[in-house]
Amino acid sequence: AKPWIVNPGAAGKERTKGGPSCLILHASETEWTIETVLYADTTAA
């Protein structure tokens, strides 16, 4: 199998420019998948 390189890159709304906020690696004995998550905007009260 070929190696994977996963670089989540920048953090924060301004730096991601609408890209994923989080990467989740799902790994089993037979396959690996990456789920991207984009968190909704939140405002501190």
pLDDT in tens, 8-41: 666 666 676 666 677 888 989 998 898 888 776 6
pLDDT band for position 5 (cuts 50, 70, 90)? confident
Domain boundaries along the sequence of the chain: 1-45
Between 16 and 2, the higher pLDDT residue: 2
User: Alpha-carbon torsion 17, 18, 20, 21, what sign?
Assistant: positive
Q: Which of 37, 45, 43 is nearest to 11 (CA)?
A: 37
**Quick one: pLDDT at residue 16?**
67
